[in-house]
Structure 1
Amino acid sequence: MGSTYFGVQVFSYAELEEATDNFNPSKELGDGGFGTVYYGVLRDGRVVAVKRLYENNVRRVEQFLNEIKILADIRHPNLVTLYGCTSRHSRELLLVYEYIPNGTVADHLHGGRANTGNLLGWPVRLSIAIETANALAYLHANDIIHRDVKTNNILLDNNFHVKVADFGLSRLFPNDVTHVSTAPQGTPGYVDPEYYQCYHLTDKSDVYSFGVVLIELISAKQAVDTSRHRHDINLANMAISRIQNQALHELVDPSLAFETDYAVRTMITAVAALAFRCLQNDRDMRPSMGEVLEVLKGMQNEESRSQIPEVVDIAADDVGLLRHVPPPLSPPDSAENDKWVQIKTM
């Protein structure tokens, strides 16, 4: 009691077992390749999400300590807060986070919450994009690469504010090198093709993944969907094709009034052009996360709306850069697919 890892509180296994009603299946929020997340209430009254890693082996301990080390040193309103953990020598590896009640962006776009009154209108989607970009720009400024940016890892509170989560694959990036060499890890449909082919991980790998997130926000389509035509299974490929062929309307979620609302159409076109730049195979041709954030903020700012056509024109010039570039590859399936979704009936 009272001990810490990297300044993070260490909980006893018994306390977290009690908080989750002995890991009652009715408290389950979601599960993935690395672990299951449970709803819990601590003895001090805090409502939490308790992540229970499936295995206590060397690899899991590495991911466990990695997430603790990264989250212990950073604070940002759009990053999930880590409250504590169990000891690495505990019978199970448990991580304790603040509880975010409104599911994930993926859940609202094409999951269980997608048909609940279309709460994700365009202004909300643009705000989600900005807050996610803000969180990633903050990480990059602190030499951290998330490495698993996806809509399943973007949590939403009841006001639809963003909390980026899941740092098990993240890397602290040395500030005196241009990249680190590491075997590709991540989720199919989101992995930077240059990272996949060359094993070179950079902050631009997150930029690529964020480009896929932007396309998801525009289209409400999944990053990988085997029910689509074989050329469109990978959403990044599909988006590149539609943008190059000036057929963006075929990609956009019909609920967004793209065809009837000029202001919405202008902004969606600008976001699509920005996503196109993020999805370029050559990482040097992608904008930085800071640049992405500034462009998105300009779109949201009423005073900057007159600048949006200029952004579109500049970005549209980049279309030619991808005309003869092979489409991005999809990596082997990742085991990680955490979904912190709604509580089952308790």
Structure 2
Amino acid sequence: MRHSTSQSEHNDITRALNDLKLMLLDETAEPKALPLSLLRDITNDFSEDRRIGTGGFATVYKGILENGLSVAVKRMYYSNLDDNDFHQEIQCLIEAKHKNIVRCLGYCFESHGEMVRYNGKFVMAEVQHRLLCFEYLSKDGSSGLEWRMRYQIIKGICQGLHYLHAKHIVHLDLNPTNILLDDNMVPKIAGFGISRCFGKDETIYTETLRGTPGYIAPQRMDSTKITIYSNIFSLGVVILLS
């Protein structure tokens, strides 16, 4: 069901839409806060026919702008991701600007009261909306490609990962589903939901082991310490399966 919009909301959508169009044309533009009303509008209220992917933490929808350009809108599941994880992902995405890293255009974190059904009755509840907006990439995977092209894709992934490590960003969930391709078959690393950014001399630990089975480094099974070597193991598995 589409949400009705007031004139004020319509004006907000128009302004934010213009900002988003400009960001698509300017690769140096910083990601900015986007209103939920805009993201609802360009995804047709997160309709099923706009859904382009689903994972353990979010569903991704195709957003279509008035000028025919498209973006990807990632809508987080409320129960599977806490605020700190969301803030960490935004921080990593703002820090990461490279041709082999998916480009983040904006983010949305809104909380407001909504009538929801509970035990057969409607009650007022606080509902949180956490979303990210990215450049739209229509391809994924490198299977079936000739070796020269697969080599170029692997090289691009390595360059993107090297950049992340130089920026002290540990991805922690590098796997084929988090590697997308643009129209020119340039790979871009995505899926920063459990990534961590840290200072040059900082050591970070995690209490919960998360990631994609088969791509998690064995040393992470017995240690809570996070290092860039966790990504290297994942990269090796990705290359073997390419």
TM bucket (normalised to shorter chain) is: 0.7 to 0.9
Whether 2:76 is the aligned partner of 1:53: answer: yes
Q: Distance in 1 between matches of 2:47 and 2:185?
A: 28
Q: What letter is aligned with 1:136? A: L
Whether 2:231 is the aligned partner of 1:206: answer: yes
| 2:88 alignment partner in structure 1 | 66
Q: Distance in 2 between matches of 1:46 and 1:11?
A: 17
Q: Alignment partner for residue 98 of structure 1, among 135, 138, 142?
A: 135
Q: Distance in 2 between matches of 1:192 and 1:174?
A: 22
Q: Distance in 1 between matches of 2:205 and 2:79?
A: 26
Q: Cα deviation per residue 1:153-201 (whole Å; 9 max; x = unaligned)?
A: 0001122110100111111123114x43213221100001111112221
| 1:28 alignment partner in structure 2 | 51
| 1:172 alignment partner in structure 2 | 197
Q: Alignment partner for residue 156 of structure 1, among 169, 181, 185?
A: 181
Shift of 1:44: 6.2
Q: What letter is aligned with 1:185? A: R
Shift of 1:27: 0.9
Aligned length: 201
Whether 2:97 is the aligned partner of 1:84: answer: no
| 1:10 alignment partner in structure 2 | 33
The Cα RMSD (Å) is 2.2
Q: Distance in 2 between matches of 1:87 and 1:130?
A: 35
Shift of 1:138: 0.2
Q: Cα deviation per residue 1:279-303 (whole Å; 9 max; x = unaligned)?
A: xxxxxxxxxxxxxxxxxxxxxxxxx
Q: Distance in 1 between matches of 2:76 and 2:205?
A: 26
Give the structure-2-normalised TM-score: 0.77
Q: Alignment partner for residue 181 of structure 1, among 195, 202, 205?
A: 205
Q: Alignment partner for residue 121 of structure 1, among 131, 146, 151?
A: 146
Secondary structure of the corresponding residue to residue 52 of structure 1: strand
Secondary structure of the corresponding residue to residue 109 of structure 2: coil
Q: What letter is aligned with 1:70? A: C
Contact 1:50 1:97 in 2 (8 A): yes
Q: Distance in 1 between matches of 2:67 and 2:183?
A: 22
Contact 1:53 1:60 in 2 (8 A): no
Greater strand share, 1 or 2? Answer: 2
Q: Cα deviation per residue 1:187-240 (whole Å; 9 max; x = unaligned)?
A: 1000011111122210111001101011111xxxxxxxxxxxxxxxxxxxxxxx
Shift of 1:88: 4.2
Contact 2:36 2:110 in 1 (8 A): no
| 1:294 alignment partner in structure 2 | none
Greater helix share, 1 or 2? Answer: 1
User: Where does 1:305-316 land on structure 2 (aligned, <5 Å)?
Assistant: none
The structure with higher relative contact order (CA 8 Å, sep 6+) is 1
Shift of 1:134: 0.3
Shift of 1:63: 2.1
Whether 2:229 is the aligned partner of 1:192: answer: no
Q: Cα deviation per residue 1:107-151 (whole Å; 9 max; x = unaligned)?
A: x53xxxxxxxx3x11011111110000000000001111111111
- Label 1:41 to 1:159 Cα distance change in 2 as closer, same or farther (>3 A): same
Contact 1:61 1:88 in 2 (8 A): no
Max radius of gyration: which structure? Answer: 1
Contact 1:16 1:42 in 2 (8 A): no
Secondary structure of the corresponding residue to residue 33 of structure 1: coil
Contact 1:155 1:162 in 2 (8 A): yes
Secondary structure of the corresponding residue to residue 205 of structure 1: helix
Q: Unmatched 5+ residue regions in structure 1?
A: 110-117, 218-346
Whether 2:77 is the aligned partner of 1:40: answer: no
Contact 2:91 2:197 in 1 (8 A): no
Q: What letter is aligned with 1:96? A: C
Q: Alignment partner for residue 169 of structure 2, among 138, 144, 150?
A: 144
Shift of 1:31: 0.2
Contact 1:8 1:68 in 2 (8 A): no
